Each structure stands twice: as structure tokens, then as C-alpha cells.
């Protein structure tokens, strides 16, 4: 299984850009990188997904270098409501059994400060 490593926590002031980097040294050729956000007392929700280079949507941007061994989630001009845990996931498939699981690490707890 491809493992991911993220910082345990980050603090940011309102209005700043926040970049959260995830390491996934063992990413496989066909794996995708996906980020989820989880607010307290809620289930995680999908933010963004990418394979290489840069992906942008209305919520965030995802930067993936050519070697794909890391990725960076960028949140522009964060607000207090962006305080949450952010999880980096790497798509993984057992080629033998064809099984698949969404493997969540410990995530990064982002605290936005007024």
C-alpha cells in the first residue's frame, strides 16, 4: 500500500494562502492523489484530485511535481471556516485480488486564526 506523510498540524491567519504538502514516495504509476477535508463531527468530503502537474477547482489547487513523490494542496485566502483536518490519499490497487481501499492517514489539522 502506498503510504502518505503529512504534517500533523498547521496554523494560519485569516486571508493567508496555506500550502499543505504530502509525501508519497511509493506512489505507483497508475495511482491518483486525492485530498479530503473533514470538519468536526462530520464525515470527510472530497476536495480535489489529480495525477500530475496542476489541478485547480473552486476550492483549492493541487500541485504535483514530475516525480509525483509529493503533492501540495493550496488553499487561497483561508477563512475561519477552513479550520479542519485535511487528508491526503493515494489510490492503491491490489493487482492480484483487484481490491481497493481508500487509505486515510492521520491528516493535517489546520487551525485558522483570526
Closest approach, Cβ 15 to another protein, in A, equals 28
Closest approach, Cβ 80 to another protein, in A, equals 20
Secondary-structure percent of the chain, ordered helix, strand, coil, rounded to 5? 5, 45, 50
Count CB atoms within 10 A of the CB of residue 10.
15
26 near another protein, rule: CB under 8 A: no
91 near another protein, rule: CB under 8 A: yes
* Contact window for another protein (CB under 8 A) among 19-27, 52-60, 63-71, 81-89: 81-89
Q: Do strands 9-13 and 108-113 pair parallel, antiparallel, or not at all (unpaired)?
A: parallel
34 near another protein, rule: CB under 8 A: yes
Q: Measured from the CB atom, is 11 or 17 closer to another protein?
A: 11
Cell of 97: 485480488
Rounded to an integer, what distance in angstroms lies between the CA atom of residue 112 and that of residue 27?
30
What is the sign of the dihedral through the CA atoms of 110, 13, 59 and 22? Answer: negative
Q: Which residues bind another protein (CB under 8 A)?
A: 30-32, 34, 41-46, 49, 85, 87, 89-91, 93-94, 97-107
Amino acid at each position: 500500500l502506498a503510504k502518505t506523510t503529512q504534517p500533523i498540524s498547521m496554523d494560519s491567519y485569516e486571508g493567508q494562502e496555506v500550502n499543505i504538502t504530502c509525501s508519497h514516495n511509493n506512489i505507483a504509476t497508475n495511482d491518483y492523489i486525492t485530498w479530503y477535508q473533514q470538519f468536526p463531527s462530520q464525515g470527510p468530503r472530497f476536495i480535489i484530485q489529480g495525477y500530475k502537474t496542476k489541478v485547480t477547482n473552486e476550492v483549492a489547487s493541487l500541485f504535483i511535481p514530475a516525480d509525483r513523490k509529493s503533492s501540495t494542496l493550496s488553499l487561497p485566502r483561508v477563512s475561519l471556516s477552513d479550520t479542519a483536518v485535511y487528508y491526503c490519499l493515494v489510490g492503491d490497487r491490489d493487482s492480484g485480488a483487484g481490491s481497493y481501499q481508500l487509505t486515510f492517514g492521520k491528516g493535517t489539522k489546520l487551525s485558522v486564526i483570526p
